[in-house]
A = this chain, B = another copy of it.
Amino acid sequence: MSKKEPLCDNIAGEDCGLKKVLNIVGGKWKIMILCVIDKDEVVRYGDLRRAVFGITNTMLANSLKELEETGMVIRKQYDEMPVRVEYSLTDKAKSIIPILLELKRWGEKNL
């Protein structure tokens, strides 16, 4: 009998681990956002918008909110004047980075 670990267990639903991952880091901008924060550790909203070339306020704010809700980034607000907001990665997000790096290397080698 085959002992192969299946890629997806629940072919029908959204509860496959793989699909869950794509749900939270998929889309057009999320990985690039994680990338910038990973690189600089702590990043302000405005710096993020300048670093992620081409992103609009709408998409950056939406993406950051979703990343925060899924426990990937931490939002810290300083009520100065004007206000300052800093984003950083959670431990959870940091733990996925090495796997994404493997995927990146695979892509560079094979595509």
Chain A residues packing against B (C-beta within 8 Å)? 2, 4-8, 11-12, 16-22, 24, 26, 31-32, 34-36, 38-39, 51-54, 70, 92, 95-97, 99-108, 110-111
Instruction: Tell me the bound Cα distance from A96 to B16 in angstroms.
Output: 17
Q: Is the CB of A53 within 8 A of B101?
A: no
Q: Is the CB of A16 within 8 A of B95?
A: no
> Which residue of chain B lies nearest to A17 when distances are taken between CB atoms in the complex?
B107
Which are the 3 A-B pairs with shortest beta-carbon distances?
A17-B107, A7-B35, A17-B108
Q: Is the CB of A104 within 8 A of B17?
A: yes
Q: Given A21-B111, A99-B102, A103-B103, does the pair A11, B26 have CB atoms closer than 8 Å?
A: no
Tell me how many chains of this kind the complex includes: 2
> Which residue of chain B lies nearest to A6 when distances are taken between CB atoms in the complex?
B39
Q: Which residues of B contact A101 (CB under 8 A)?
A: 5, 7
Distance in angstroms from A4 CB to nearest chain B CB is 7
Q: Given A52-B11, A103-B103, A110-B95, does the pair A6, B19 have CB atoms closer than 8 Å?
A: no
Q: Which residues of B contact A104 (CB under 8 A)?
A: 7-8, 16-18, 21
